[in-house]
């Protein structure tokens, strides 16, 4: 009994540390585009992030959590020695958390997802045995890391091209924007709602048929689009500001859209990245409670809630500063461009969440930004920084793995 | 703390370029007061305006260096970096020519013959108009970037450039007429002054030439 309490307490502690780190750092990237383009103030961004991160984690975070929890390590090999899985998952959490902490202090661009996956593969391959890793599944995850920025970039490219053609290059961009922006709002809301209903709701005990899911998603999206249209129609052109820059009012219309995509981005991030913290907790809790590894055990809802709370706390304590810093530096990502990047990234991430693929939010967002850039939407992109991000892709995985192996051996020696 | 998402956006050259043409234009605009003072022989005022011109020219120069510094080769932009740098260079030359011509006139306390003074001042103002139209065209740069260099915005800038060309042609005509007028009275002038007067006319006319070249550079951006 005592042993179980120790395991669960440690898992909760390490998991909260990790979730706090995600909230402090990762969420800021997801929200900063909205702050930078002045669609939201920092305070509003934090409120939006808190609500939608939490909803994303609880409603749609189940699939990725289950991948992290039991998709990477072949638990069949551990039926005799379930405590190894506990040590390993604790080591992975601490390793990823530590690595993220070191990396953030030094300003290295790293991904929470890459570090936790690297850490789990590391402890399993070295601590247990090469066969303990489900290499097929790991291969799929690595493929998704390549595919997700490409997909987001492609979608962002198409979205921004359509914005240029339909609105920005037209004679009267304002009336065009008022007409088309609600349509974009509809698509943003529809994609995210649909994936949530299809993939997420069964984790909270709701089961809806496929046809009803579509009907419900369309209904919700139409409702959101109508609310958006109401606010858009209230926007009046300011002739004085217009004289100096023609797109001022148009950008304000896109600002409304960006509030919607910011919610979507926070939701998507919560649905994917929260699993990095709570997947391992869930694995530990399940072993500790049952005394054995059971593949059937459901994900306890309180674990999802715990992860959601950790992220929100990280955001409130530390994330606001990061949002402010990043937001200040990306002011020329105006709402018309920022929304395209956010919508593309959010769509890609939510779909990945639905299929249980743990991908990097930040890398996906970077891919989306590059997509907007390729559509001639961004004044200047520094390719050196892009190159550094690609290097960090590779470095983070062995770093997480190495730390996890060290912690694994320590835990095996120290813990009961 | 450095953040990769923040750093991925290179510093945009668009607003600084717009600011640079603003300074160059304000510099050229000083010639209006400068030459009025020179024509009336008020060299104190002329010297004080000349100091403003020098300050503005310096400011434009500093900004030019700043922009170049923040435009590394690793930047990925919708338009070639080289074209932006050349646009910057001709914008800067508007300020340079302003400084040169005002320095020449003040240094020699060059007297502008009364019989052509009116015509000359009109010529100066038309050159300033050209610089102003260049500013108006460059100010559309951020809209051009937003619209992805296509559609209605491109048409608008093309119209601005056409107007710029008309102004420049006008300065050419005025310059020819001014030279002809000067030719008629040159015998009555001090020979050295007469030579320098031709040079002042030439240099002043180059302000509109540079403004026109700003238009040409912008046009090059449009064709990408």
pLDDT tens for A394-412 read 888 899 999 999 999 998 8
Q: Where are the beta strands (DSSP E) in A266-327?
A: none
User: How long is chain A?
Assistant: 416
A262 touches A36 (CB < 8 A) = no
Compute, in degrees rounded to 10, the torsion defined by CA atoms B13, B17, B18, B20: 140
pLDDT tens for A180-237 read 999 999 999 998 888 778 776 666 666 777 788 889 899 999 999 999 999 888 887 7
Q: How much is the average pLDDT of A69-79?
A: 81
pLDDT attached to residue A343:
92
Taking alpha carbons only, the member of A343, A361, A174 closest to residue A261 is: A343
Which site among B6, B79, B155 would you substitute to test the A interface, given the most A Cβ atoms closer than 10 Å to its Cβ? B6
CA A91 to chain centre: 23
Domain of residue B178, residue span: 12-222
pLDDT tens for B72-115 read 888 888 889 999 999 999 999 999 999 999 999 999 999 899 99
| CB contact (8 A) between residue A380 and residue B12 | yes
Please write down the HEC assignment for all residues of A125-186.
HHHHCHHHECHHHHHHHHHHHHHHHHHHHHHHHHHHHHHHHHHHCCCCHHHHHHHHHHHHHH
Instruction: State pTM to two decimals.
Output: 0.85
Checking if the pLDDT of A244 tops 70, the result is: no
Residue B33 domain flag: yes
pLDDT attached to residue A292:
65
Residue B7 domain flag: no
pLDDT tens for A5-20 read 888 888 888 988 888 8
pLDDT attached to residue A202:
64
A181 touches A232 (CB < 8 A) = yes
Tokens coding A145: 């890391």
Nearest CB partner across the interface for A380, out of B1, B10, B153: B10
pLDDT tens for A80-127 read 788 888 889 999 999 998 888 887 777 666 788 889 999 999 999 988
pLDDT band per the 50, 70, 90 thresholds, residue B44 = very high
pLDDT band per the 50, 70, 90 thresholds, residue B4 = low
| CB contact (8 A) between residue A383 and residue B76 | yes
Nearest CB partner across the interface for B14, out of A325, A369, A379: A379
B73 touches chain A (CB under 8 A): no
Residue B137 domain flag: yes
Please write down the HEC assignment for all residues of A30-68.
HHHHHHHCCCCCHHHHHHHHHHHHHHHHHHHCHHHHHHH
pLDDT attached to residue A224:
92
What gap in Å lies between CA A103 and CA A136, rounded to an integer?
A: 29
pLDDT band per the 50, 70, 90 thresholds, residue B150 = confident
pLDDT band per the 50, 70, 90 thresholds, residue A377 = confident
Shortest Cα–Cα distance, A23 to chain B (Å): 15
Shortest Cα–Cα distance, A308 to chain B (Å): 23
What gap in Å lies between CA A137 and CA A158, rounded to an integer?
A: 31
Range with the poorest average pLDDT among A25-29, A42-46, A404-408: A25-29
Tokens coding A266: 């926070």
pLDDT attached to residue A367:
92
Residue B93 domain flag: yes
Residue B3 domain flag: no
Checking if the pLDDT of A55 tops 70, the result is: yes
pLDDT attached to residue A293:
65
Residue B6 domain flag: no
Taking alpha carbons only, the member of A24, A151, A164, A47 closest to residue A100 is: A24
Shortest Cα–Cα distance, B162 to chain A (Å): 19
What gap in Å lies between CA A147 and CA A323, rounded to an integer?
A: 27
pLDDT attached to residue A31:
81
Share of chain B above pLDDT 90, in %: 78
What gap in Å lies between CA A226 and CA A187, rounded to an integer?
A: 12
B223 touches chain A (CB under 8 A): no
pLDDT attached to residue A204:
60
Q: Locate the chain B residue with the closest alpha carbon to A107.
A: B2
For residue B153, give the CATH number of its domain: 1.20.58.220
Residue B210 domain flag: yes
The residue to which tokens 């040169």 are assigned? B100
B110 touches B64 (CB < 8 A) = no
Checking if the pLDDT of A291 tops 80, the result is: no
Checking if the pLDDT of B1 tops 50, the result is: no
Q: Contacts of residue A366 in chain B, CB cutoff 8 Å?
A: 4-5, 8
Q: Judge residue A93's burial from the number of C-beta atoms within 10 Å of its C-beta, 0-12 exposed, 13-18 middle, 19 or more buried.
A: buried
pLDDT attached to residue B198:
95
Checking if the pLDDT of B221 tops 80, the result is: yes
| CB contact (8 A) between residue B152 and residue A170 | yes
What gap in Å lies between CA A139 and CA A218, rounded to an integer?
A: 35
Name residues whose C-beta falls within 8 Å of residue A100's C-beta, 6 or more positions apart in sequence.
A18, A21, A22, A25, A110, A112, A115
Shortest Cα–Cα distance, B207 to chain A (Å): 25
ipTM (interface pTM): 0.78
pLDDT tens for A335-364 read 888 899 999 999 999 888 888 899 988 889
Shortest Cα–Cα distance, B137 to chain A (Å): 12
Q: Contacts of residue B2 in chain A, CB cutoff 8 Å?
A: 107
Taking alpha carbons only, the member of B65, B54, B125, B124 closest to residue B89 is: B65
Q: Contacts of residue B148 in chain A, CB cutoff 8 Å?
A: 164, 168-169, 375-377
pLDDT tens for B116-142 read 999 999 999 999 999 999 999 999 998
Q: What is the mean pLDDT of chain A?
A: 84
Number of domains in chain B: 1
B83 touches chain A (CB under 8 A): no
pLDDT tens for A116-140 read 999 999 999 988 888 888 888 899 9
């Amino acid at each position: 009994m005592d042993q179980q309490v120790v395991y669960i307490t440690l898992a909760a502690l390490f998991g909260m540390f990790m979730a706090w780190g995600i909230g402090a750092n990762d969420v800021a990237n997801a929200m900063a585009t909205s702050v930078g383009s002045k669609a939201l103030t920092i305070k509003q961004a934090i409120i939006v992030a808190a609500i939608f991160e939490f909803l994303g984690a609880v409603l749609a975070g189940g699939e990725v959590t289950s991948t992290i929890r039991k998709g990477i390590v072949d638990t069949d090999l551990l039926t005799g020695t379930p405590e190894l899985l506990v040590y390993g998952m604790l080591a992975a959490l601490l390793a990823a958390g530590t690595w993220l902490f070191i990396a953030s202090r030094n300003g290295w661009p790293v991904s929470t997802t890459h570090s936790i996956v690297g850490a789990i593969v590391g402890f399993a391959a070295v601590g247990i045995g090469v066969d303990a890793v489900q290499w097929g599944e790991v291969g799929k995850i690595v493929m998704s890391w390549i595919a997700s920025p490409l997909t987001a970039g492609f979608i962002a490219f198409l979205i921004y091209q359509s914005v240029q053609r339909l609105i920005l290059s037209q004679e009267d961009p304002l009336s065009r924007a008022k007409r088309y922006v609600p349509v974009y709002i509809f698509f943003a809301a529809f994609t995210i709602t649909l994936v949530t209903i299809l993939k997420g709701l069964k984790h909270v005990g709701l089961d809806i048929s496929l046809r009803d899911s579509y009907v419900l998603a369309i209904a919700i999206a139409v409702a959101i689009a109508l609310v958006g249209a109401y606010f858009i129609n209230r926007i009046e052109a300011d002739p004085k500001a217009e004289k100096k820059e023609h797109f001022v009012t148009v950008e304000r219309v896109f600002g409304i859209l960006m509030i919607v995509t910011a919610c979507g981005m926070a939701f998507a991030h919560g649905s994917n990245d929260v699993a990095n913290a709570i997947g391992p907790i869930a694995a530990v809790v399940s072993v500790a409670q049952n005394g054995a590894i059971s593949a059937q055990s459901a994900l306890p809802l309180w674990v999802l809630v715990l992860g959601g709370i950790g992220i929100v706390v990280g955001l409130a304590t530390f994330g606001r500063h990061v949002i402010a810093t990043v937001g200040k530096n990306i002011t020329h990502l105006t709402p018309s461009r920022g929304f395209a990047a956010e919508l593309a990234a959010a769509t890609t991430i939510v779909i990945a969440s639905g299929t249980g693929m743990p991908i990097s939010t930040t890398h996906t967002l970077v891919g989306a930004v590059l997509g907007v850039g390729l559509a001639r939407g961004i004044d200047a992109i520094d390719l050196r920084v892009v190159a550094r991000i690609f290097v960090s892709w590779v470095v983070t995985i062995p770093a997480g793995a190495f730390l996890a192996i060290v912690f694994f051996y320590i835990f095996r020696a120290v813990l009961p | 703390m450095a953040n990769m998402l923040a750093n991925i956006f290179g510093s945009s050259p668009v607003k600084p370029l717009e600011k640079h043409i603003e300074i160059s234009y304000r510099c050229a605009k000083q010639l209006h007061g400068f030459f009025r003072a020179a024509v009336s022989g008020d060299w104190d005022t002329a010297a004080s305006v000349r100091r403003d011109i020098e300050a503005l020219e310096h400011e434009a120069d500093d900004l030019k260096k700043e922009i170049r510094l923040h435009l590394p080769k690793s930047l990925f932009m919708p338009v070639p970096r080289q074209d932006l740098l050349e646009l910057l260079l001709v914008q800067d030359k508007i300020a340079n020519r302003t400084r040169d011509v005002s320095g020449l006139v003040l240094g020699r306390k060059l007297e502008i013959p009364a019989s052509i003074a009116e015509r000359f001042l009109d010529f100066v103002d038309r050159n300033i108009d050209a610089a102003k139209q260049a500013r108006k065209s460059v100010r559309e740069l951020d809209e051009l970037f937003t619209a992805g260099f296509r559609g209605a915005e491109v048409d608008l800038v093309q119209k601005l450039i056409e107007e710029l060309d008309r102004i420049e042609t006008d300065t050419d005509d005025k310059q020819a007429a001014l030279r002809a007028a000067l030719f008629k009275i040159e015998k009555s002038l001090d020979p050295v002054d007469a030579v320098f007067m031709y040079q002042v006319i030439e240099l002043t006319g180059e302000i509109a030439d540079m403004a026109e070249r700003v238009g040409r550079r912008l046009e090059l951006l449009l064709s990408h």
